A and B are shown apart, each in its own frame.
Chain A
Amino acid sequence: METGTKTTVDEIIADSGKAVSVLRFTGDISSVSRDNVLSAYGKLAKDRPVLLDFSRVDYINSSGIALVIQMMMEANKSGQEICAFGLTPHFQKVFTMVGITKYAKLYPDEPSAKAAV
């Protein structure tokens, strides 16, 4: 029943000219996503900002939110900027409730994130 998470990575150039990694998720983000998500995040270059793309995510539960916090902790340790886009209004609200927005900015879509980093 639990569907896993597919992850892909794109390297893009932000409007500022900075190189940025985009970690794109597809499917569910829950406890079964742990190895896949953290391993994909671990392979990213730490010297550039990372954007988390949730636009193809169907379901996030509290275990999935915990994974996002874990990526934020890793980013914080290495001084890496981390942002997210593509969350539904409901999950923007949930991420705000749990305090994620204190450490990671949320943008509605990829162009707005690309313009801001």
Chain B
Amino acid sequence: MKEIKDTAVEVRLPSRLGFEKIAMGTAASVAKLMGFPDDRIEDLKTAVAEACINAIEHANRLDENLSIGVILSATDDSLEVKVVDEGEGVNKRPANPDIDRKMHGEEGTRGMGMFLIEALVDEAEWVKGSKGKNSYVRLVIRLGKDGK
């Protein structure tokens, strides 16, 4: 822990689907160094991937001239991940997915990213940037009292 606490790691990625896996791998490496157990690392990987996909697809609209920033900040007992895009931010959080409605074609099969993020991390917030740019999602996972 001492080697990594109070440090930040930043990755900048093009707005191209698939590059979220670089952010996933980086987040997993930092979480592993901090001592997170494997199941929490898997939760974090999915949450980070979904945050990056939202930034690439919805905020930056797959424009490869725009990039996303992934900033990982480690403290004694938590890891914060900010995924910054060049969009104006989330205006309205979509409703949680309803499998019955999806199965009956009453809602789209997609639209699960924000739900998964919120369900898999200890804290998630979406912050609108100023002047319609630099919005971000902030995720936090915490180590338990027993270091798990």
Contacts and interface: CB of A to CB of B under 8 A. Distances in A.
Do A and B interact? yes
Interface of A: 1-3, 30-32, 59, 61-63, 65-67, 69-70, 72-73, 76, 88-90, 94, 97-100, 102-103
B32 to A, nearest CB: 15
Nearest to B20: A61
Interface in B94-136: 97-100, 102-103, 105, 108-113, 115-116, 119-120
B139 to A, nearest CB: 15
Given A69-B102, A69-B103, A97-B116, A62 B53 contact: yes
A97 B119 contact: yes
Contact of B109 (A3, A66, A97): A66
Contacts of A65: 112
Interface SS of A by simple majority: helix
A1 B19 contact: yes
Interface residues of B, number: 31
Interface stretch (B41-49, B70-78, B83-91, B140-148): B41-49
A28 to B, nearest CB: 8
Interface of B: 16-22, 39, 42-43, 46, 49-50, 53, 97-100, 102-103, 105, 108-113, 115-116, 119-120
Contacts of B49: 59, 61
Nearest to B14: A1
Contacts of A90: 39, 42-43, 46
Contact of A98 (B17, B108, B115): B115
A66 B112 contact: yes
Contacts of A66: 108-110, 112
A2 B17 contact: yes
Contacts of A59: 21, 49
3 nearest interchain CB pairs?
A99-B99, A1-B18, A2-B18
A80 to B, nearest CB: 13
